[in-house]
Chains A and B, each alone.
Chain A
Amino acid sequence: EAQVTQNPRYLITVTGKKLTVTCSQNMNHEYMSWYRQDPGLGLRQIYYSMNVEVTDKGDVPEGYKVSRKEKRNFPLILESPSPNQTSLYFCASSSQLPGPLGNYGYTFGSGTRLTVV
């Protein structure tokens, strides 16, 4: 089944303890991205990647890191989590890069609910 898999689904951690949220897609998609969703603010893009070893900042990159060493994986790293990073996180992928020729939607993972205390 074509899907984007995020792990873990739920995570409670303490301030300052490094964590990684994994994201993997099995569709050979070029484009992958991370979003966070907060009440009243909607979804905001954290980072995105156009291809292996190509990553770029989205609208809210502060406090996050990503890597794209393989096409299928795009982990989100919080080096020193803080309570304001408590949120619902989504990974997404798409077969086409953003642009005027885009004709396909994004496939989203099921989400990771992170609580930082």
Chain B
Amino acid sequence: SQQGEEDPQALSIQEGENATMNCSYKTSINNLQWYRQNSGRGLVHLILIRSNEREKHSGRLRVTLDTSKKSSSLLITASRAADTASYFCATDVDGLTFGKGTHLIIQP
């Protein structure tokens, strides 16, 4: 069953701008993870935030988690053309359950 739902489904911004993607989920979780997928390739783990954490940073990435609203957001600052990819949130309950992803396009 689908747990996470990303919003928006697609996002196109100019290089240098910030990109924000949101994820909503339905049940209690152990942690929430974000992954990136370049076209047709394997997923790459970006960041994990545990259920007792509210915010986490990794380089240009900032993730927030609001367990009361069952939602998370991924912010990519100072975007680059190489950030063009699909981004997935995944909730860890009894293994990972993925959303359908946000397709991010960075215009040069």
By the criterion CB–CB under 8 Å, are B40 and A45 in contact? Answer: no
Q: How far is the CB of B17 from chain A (nearest CB, A)?
A: 26
A98 pairs with B48, CB closer than 8 A: no
- Give per-residue flags for B66-107: 1 if the beta carbon is below 8 A from chain A beta carbons, else 0: 000000000000000000000010001111111111000000
> Is A42's CB under 8 angstroms from B100's CB?
yes
**Interface pick from A14-22, A61-69, A70-78, A108-116:** A108-116
CA distance A108 to B2 in the complex (A): 19
Instruction: Identify the closest chain A residue to B46 (Cβ).
Output: A105
A33 — which chain B residues lie within 8 A by C-beta?
95-96
Given contacts A42-B88, A42-B98, A99-B30, whether A107 and B45 have CB atoms under 8 Å apart is yes
Chain A contact residue count (CB 8 A cutoff): 30
The reply to whether A111 and B33 form a contact with Cβ atoms under 8 Å apart is: no
Q: Are B30 and A100 in contact (CB under 8 A)?
A: yes
Given A98-B95, A102-B30: A59 in contact with B1 (beta carbons within 8 A)? yes
Query: Hey, which chain B residues are within 8 Å of A105, CB to CB?
Result: 33, 35, 45-48
The answer on a CB contact under 8 Å between A102 and B42 is no
Q: B20: CB under 8 A from chain A?
A: no
In the complex, what residues of B have CB within 8 A of residue A108's CB? 35, 42-45
* A88 pairs with B40, CB closer than 8 A: yes
Chain A: CB-nearest residue to B96:
A106
Q: Is the CB of A45 within 8 A of B92?
A: no
Q: Bound complex: CA of A48 vs CA of B95, how far in Å? A: 8
Q: Evaluate contact between B95 and A42: CB separation under 8 angstroms.
A: no
Listed by A's residue number, 24 A-B pairs whose Cβ atoms lie within 8 Å are: A31-B95, A33-B95, A35-B98, A42-B2, A42-B88, A42-B98, A42-B99, A42-B101, A43-B43, A59-B1, A59-B97, A92-B43, A92-B96, A98-B96, A100-B30, A100-B51, A102-B48, A102-B92, A105-B33, A105-B47, A111-B40, A111-B41, A111-B42, A113-B40
Taking beta carbons and an 8 Å cutoff, which residues of A are in contact with B? 4, 31, 33, 35, 40-45, 48, 58-59, 88, 90, 92, 98-100, 102-111, 113
Interface residues of B (CB under 8 A from A): 1-2, 30-31, 33, 35, 40-48, 50-51, 88, 92-101
